[in-house]
Copies of this chain bind each other. A is one copy, B any other.
Amino acid sequence: MRAIPDPVQNLIDAFSHLPGIGPKTASRLAFHLLKAPEALSLELAEALEGLKSGTSHCQQCYNITLAGEDICDICASSNRSDETICVVEEPLDVIAIERTGVYQGKYHVLMGVLSPIEGIGPDQIKIFPLLERLKQEPVKEVIIATNPSMEGDATALYLQQRIQPLGIKVSRLARGLPVGGDIEYADQNTLQRALAYRQTMD
Contacts and interface: CB of A to CB of B under 8 A. Distances in A.
Contact of A1 (B19, B53, B67, B77): B77
Interface in A31-55: 31-35, 38, 40-55
Contacts of A52: 34, 38, 41
19 contacts: A3-B73, A3-B74, A3-B94, A5-B64, A6-B54, A6-B66, A10-B46, A10-B47, A11-B44, A11-B48, A11-B50, A14-B46, A18-B32, A20-B29, A30-B51, A33-B48, A33-B51, A45-B49, A48-B48
B44 A15 contact: yes
B34 A41 contact: no
Interface of A, helix, strand, loop or mixed by DSSP:
helix
| For the complex of A and B, 5 pairs with smallest distance between CB atoms | A7-B54, A45-B48, A11-B47, A14-B44, A45-B45
Interface of A: 1-8, 10-11, 13-15, 17-21, 25, 27-35, 38, 40-55, 64-67, 73-74, 77, 79, 90-92, 94-95, 98-99
